Structures are given as C-alpha cells and as structure tokens.
Amino acid sequence: MSDWLISLEGTEAGHHLALALALSAAFLHAAFGALQKGRHDPWLSRGAIDACYGLMAAPFAFFVVPWPEPYMWPIFALVWLIHIAYKTLQALAYTKGSYTVVYPVVRGTGPLFTVFGAYLLFGETFNVIQWLGVATLMAGIFGLAAYNLRYLETDRDTLGIALVLAVITGLFVALYTTYDAYGIRATADPFTFLAWFFMIDGAAMPVYAALRWRAMVNRPALGPLMLRGLVGGIIAPLSFGSIMLATRLDKVGEAAILRETSTVFAALIGWLVLKETVGPRRIALMALIALGAVIVEMGG
C-alpha cells in the first residue's frame, strides 16, 4: 500500500485522494473535538484517548512498518513537543470556554497561519481566487464563532482567556500541520511516520491524566471514561492520519483549508449530539465556510 500511495504523489489521482482525505479528516476531527469536550474533564478525556491510540499504534510501529531512518528521531522529538503544547492549549481553552465558541476560533486561525507556514517551509503559494476562498471560509468560521459567542456562550467570566487560548491553539494547529507534513515527507514510508508518531504521541498525556484523576475528590468512573478513550483512540489516528497523508500527496495549504470545513461538522455535532441550537443564521454561516473551501479547491 505504501508503494501505491507514494506513486500517487504529485499526480491528478493523488490530488483527488488528498481532497477526500482532507474532507474525511474534517468530519473526524469535529467528532474528536466533541469527544474531548463532552461530559468528562477534557484533561481526562485526552489522556484516555492518547493512551488508547498509543497502545494500538505500538504493534504496528514495532512489527509491521519499516523502522524509522536515524535522522527521523530529532523530527519525532520536535513533533512530540509541538503536539504536547497543542493538546495542553486545547484542553485549557475547553476548560475556559464553550465548545461552540472555542472550536471555530481555533479552526479559523489555524488555516491562515498554515498557509503562511506552507509558504515559508515548502514555497507554496495561493493565487488571488484561492485567497478569496480563504477570506470567505474565515469569514464564515469567525462569523459562526461570533454568533455562538453572542447567543450561546455561558462561561462569560472566563471568556477573554478562552479566546486568547483559542487563537494561540490555532497557531499551534498551523505549526503541527506544517511540521507534520515535513516529517511525513522526510521518511521513505509514510506509514512508518504515522505508526511511530501515534505511539510516541500517546505517551505523555495519560500520565498527567492519571495523576489528575487520583487527585480528584469525586473521581469519575473509569469504565465510561475509557470507553470514550477507546472511541477517540480509533477516531484520532483516522483523522490526523488522513490529513498527514493528504499533505504528503498534495499541497499542505489546500489540505489545511479543506480540513477546516470541520467547523461545519462541529456545528452539526453540537446540534445533534450536544443539543445546541442551530438556526438559519448558523446554517448560512456554515454554507459560507463550505463555499470558501470550494473556492480554494476550484481556484487551484
């Protein structure tokens, strides 16, 4: 499968597969975000999720995929640090603000920073039409965040810090997107990067989550928490793995923009699962996000 995937790099078929992978990542990432923001403490949810996908990735890393080249170890180390910072900031933002406000701000700032990062690291550029699409998509995302902020936000006392954390988290989304793309392109076999990344990435947060759980006066039951972790442990590699593969097959900036249609899926999940209100204005804003992604894709 690795040989087939590598053969598609830079081809029209590879472009179409990258498109499908980025859109799949969008839906899965929205579901993953909702899992982390659900009824459990976001730190505990993240720890359970990371523990599950780290354990599931280990057999593939040790026994299935080729071992990483020696020069990959410093790359893995920096990738690990970036993702730890991202996950910490994401969890902090979720503890300070509601999912429907924090998530769109993170996803709105992420693609803009990623486009600039892809230019600096890979020399990618957008044309005028694609920049129009970026502006359209971001207008929809930030419009959705503003609407949620006005009508749905309940954590008013911590709103300011939540928004600051969301913007910083968006910066780290761009950082991990571009550097993960660099890492998966650096190794001969992309599945080597994915297997080792998920095994290494799953090692830190479970330790902190376990310590946090032990320090709680009212500890949540481990059964439902680990069930959430198992579901997230399946979704996370599919989501992050899809976008990483998309960035190997095609342009990093375009893949990042398409992934941000996750905000549309997040609003739908908020409505259907978290029982949040969705009205005509939010539907219009979601349509604007989708239109922006279409403009970026068609303009390229």
d(Cα 145, Cα 99) in Å, to the nearest integer? Answer: 10
pLDDT per residue as tens digits for the range 255-299: 888 887 777 777 777 777 766 666 777 778 777 877 887 788 777
> By C-alpha distance, which of 30, 16, 17, 19 is closest to 235?
30
Which of the 8 DSSP states describes residue 250?
Answer: S
> By C-alpha distance, which of 25, 10, 34 is closest to 241?
25
Q: What is the pLDDT of residue 268?
A: 76
> By C-alpha distance, which of 281, 263, 283 is closest to 108?
263
Q: What is the DSSP string of 65-94?
A: SPPPPTTHHHHHHHHHHHHHHHHHHHHHHH
d(Cα 292, Cα 290) in Å, to the nearest integer? Answer: 5
Does residue 74 register a pLDDT over 90? Answer: yes
Q: How large is the average pLDDT for residues 190-197? A: 95
| The two three-digit tokens of residue 101, written as one number | 């406000």
d(Cα 127, Cα 112) in Å, to the nearest integer? Answer: 14
Q: What is the pLDDT of residue 93?
A: 85
If one compares 280 and 23, the residue with the highest pLDDT of the two is 23
d(Cα 122, Cα 38) in Å, to the nearest integer? Answer: 37
Handedness of CA 57, 59, 65, 71 (dihedral sign): positive
pLDDT per residue as tens digits for the range 47-56: 998 999 999 9
Pick the most confident of 27-31, 76-80, 134-138: 76-80
